[in-house]
Amino acid sequence: MNLNIAILIILIMAALWTTMTRSLLRSAIGLAAMSLVLSIIMFRLNSNLAAVFELSVCAGLIPVLFVSTISLTHPLTKQEVMQHMKDRIRRFWYLPFIIVAVGIALSLVTVKLSIKLPPHEIEKNVRTLLWNERPLYLAGQIIVLLIGAFSVVILFKESGKDER
């Protein structure tokens, strides 16, 4: 239990670093670190397959997407960086204090959760559940993937037309 709390604290610190760091590149790396910590939590909570997905897609693919986007956009000039830094410090320095205050306040509150849990049933395999019982989940994923592919094609086709 204490180890879980320590991992969750690391997760919050990674999220704070992602939000507050000045460089967007470091933010993308912070996001990958967040996904890594989250996948460790998933492994500890017996969700191995979801953890592997989280590790490969969220800690691998999505930061690469962000890094390539950052590299495609123009960096700021030194003057703009200095101006933005002052502005950012003014806007973001509240956040750690808010998080610490909320954490302390919520940990002092003793909540009696009256959750009605569903009746116990024999644990199924994820693969069996996805393929045999919930095939619509897979169909939905395929449809979403196709929509995403077509959207990206249309987006870059339009921008190509504009350049001409």
Partner 1 sequence: MNVEALQIFWPFLLFVIMLFIIGIYCISITFNLIRALLGVEILIKAVTLLIIIAGFVSGRTALAQAVVISLIVIEAVAITVAVGIVIGIHSHNNSLDTRKIVDTDK
- Find the binding residues for partner 1 in span 44-73 (CB under 8 A): 45-47, 49-50, 53-54, 57-58, 61-62, 65-66, 69-70, 72-73
CA distance 16 to 124: 37
Q: Is the dihedral of CA 77, 82, 87, 89 positive or negative?
A: positive
By CB under 8 A, the residues from 115 to 154 that bind partner 1 are 115, 117-118, 120-121, 123-126, 129-130, 134, 137, 140-141, 144-145, 147-148, 151-152
Shortest Å distance, C-beta 42 to partner 1: 6
SS3 call for 149:
helix
- Residues 4-43 interacting with partner 1 (rule: CB under 8 A): 4-5, 8, 11-12, 15-16, 18-19, 24, 27-28, 31, 34-35, 38, 41-42
CB of 73 to partner 1, least distance (A): 5
To the nearest whole angstrom, how small is the minimum distance from the Cβ of residue 145 to partner 1? 6
**Secondary structure (3-state) at 21:** coil
User: 38, 11 in Cβ contact below 8 A?
Assistant: yes
Check residue 107 for interaction with partner 1 (CB under 8 A).
yes
